[in-house]
Structure 1
Amino acid sequence: MFFVDTIEVAGLGNRSYLAGGERTAVAVDPPRDVEQVIAAAVRRGVRISHVVETHLHNDYVSGGLELARITGADYLVPAGARVSFARVPVTDGDRAEIDAAEGLALRAVATPGHTPHHTAYVLEEHGAQVAVFTGGSLLIGSVGRPDLVEPRLTERLARAQHASAHRLAAELPDETAVLPTHGFGSFCSSSQAEGSDTTIGKEKESNAALTRDVDTFVAELLAGLDDVPAYYTHMAPANAAGPAPVDLTPPAVADAGEIAERLAAGEWVVDLRSRVAFAEGHVAGSFNFEAEGQLATYLAWLIPWGKPVTLLAESADQLRTAQRELARVGIDRPAAAATGGPSDWLRAGETPGSFPRGTFAGLAARSAEVVVLDVRRDSERAGGFVAGSVHIPVHELHRRLAEVPDGQVWVHCAGGMRAAIAASLLDAAGRDVVAVDDSFDAAEQAGLTIRVP
Structure 2
Amino acid sequence: MSHTRSRVPVIVPIDTPSLGDRSYLAHDGRVAVVVDPQRDIDRVLDLATAAGVRITHVFETHVHNDYVTGGLALARQTGAAYHVNAADQVAFEHVPVTDGDVVEVSPTMRVRVIATPGHTLTHLAYALETSGEDGDTVGVFTGGSLLFGATGRPDLLGDEHTDALVHHQFASAHRLADELPEHTHVLPTHGFGSFCSAGSTGGSTESTIGVEKRQNPALTDDEATWVAATLAGLDAYPAYYVHMAPANSAGPDAPDLTAPQEADKATLAARLAAGEWVVDLRTRTAFAAGHVPRTLNIGLDGQFATYLGWLIPWGTPLTLLGEDAAQVADAQRELVRIGIDHLAGAATGSPADWTDGPLAAFPRAVFADLAQVRHHRRVGVLDVRRASEFAEQHIAGATNIPLHELLARLGEVPAGEVWVHCAGGYRASIAASILAAHGHRVVAVDDSFGEQAARSGLPLITAA
TM-score range, shorter chain: over 0.9
What is the rounded CA distance, in whole Å, between the counterparts of 1:189 and 1:406 in structure 2? 36
SS of 1:6's partner is: strand
The Cα shift of 1:191 comes to: 2.3
Residue 339 of structure 1 aligns to which amino acid in structure 2? T
What is the rounded CA distance, in whole Å, between the counterparts of 1:75 and 1:192 in structure 2? 32
The Cα shift of 1:379 comes to: 1.6
Give the corresponding residue for 1:89: 96
Q: Residue 66 of structure 1 is aligned with which of 55, 63, 73?
A: 73
Match status 1:450 vs 2:460: yes
Give the corresponding residue for 1:105: 110
Match status 1:125 vs 2:130: yes
Ranges of 4+ aligned residues in structure 1 off by more than 2 Å: none
Q: How many residues align?
A: 449
CA contact (8 A) 2:300 2:331 kept: yes
Taking the TM superposition and a 5 Å limit, the aligned residue runs for 1:26-425 are: 26-100=33-107, 103-126=108-131, 127-194=135-202, 195-347=204-356, 350-367=357-374, 369-425=378-434
Residue 124 of structure 1 aligns to which amino acid in structure 2? E
What is the rounded CA distance, in whole Å, between the counterparts of 1:296 and 1:3 in structure 2? 30
Residue 263 of structure 1 aligns to which amino acid in structure 2? L
CA contact (8 A) 1:14 1:186 kept: yes
Give the corresponding residue for 2:11: 4
Structure 2: tracts of 5 or more residues without a match? 1-6
What is the rounded CA distance, in whole Å, between the counterparts of 2:318 and 2:430 in structure 1? 15
Residue 58 of structure 2 aligns to which amino acid in structure 1? V
What is the rounded CA distance, in whole Å, between the counterparts of 1:400 and 1:383 in structure 2? 22
The Cα shift of 1:358 comes to: 1.0
What is the rounded CA distance, in whole Å, between the counterparts of 1:326 and 1:172 in structure 2? 37
Structure 1: tracts of 5 or more residues without a match? none
The Cα shift of 1:280 comes to: 0.8
What is the rounded CA distance, in whole Å, between the counterparts of 1:87 and 1:65 in structure 2? 8
CA contact (8 A) 2:381 2:414 kept: no
CA contact (8 A) 2:293 2:360 kept: yes
CA contact (8 A) 1:20 1:98 kept: no
CA contact (8 A) 2:382 2:414 kept: no
Residue 334 of structure 2 aligns to which amino acid in structure 1? E
What is the rounded CA distance, in whole Å, between the counterparts of 2:298 and 2:264 in structure 1? 20
Give the corresponding residue for 1:435: 444
Residue 461 of structure 2 aligns to which amino acid in structure 1? R
What is the rounded CA distance, in whole Å, between the counterparts of 2:105 and 2:52 in structure 1? 15
What is the rounded CA distance, in whole Å, between the counterparts of 1:42 and 1:245 in structure 2? 18
RMSD over aligned CA atoms reads: 0.8
The Cα shift of 1:11 comes to: 0.9
The Cα shift of 1:23 comes to: 1.3
The Cα shift of 1:405 comes to: 2.0
What is the rounded CA distance, in whole Å, between the counterparts of 1:295 and 1:407 in structure 2? 29
What is the rounded CA distance, in whole Å, between the counterparts of 2:93 and 2:173 in structure 1? 30
CA contact (8 A) 2:383 2:400 kept: yes
The Cα shift of 1:219 comes to: 0.4
SS of 1:310's partner is: strand
The Cα shift of 1:266 comes to: 0.8
TM-score when scaled to structure 1? 0.98
What is the rounded CA distance, in whole Å, between the counterparts of 1:292 and 1:300 in structure 2? 16
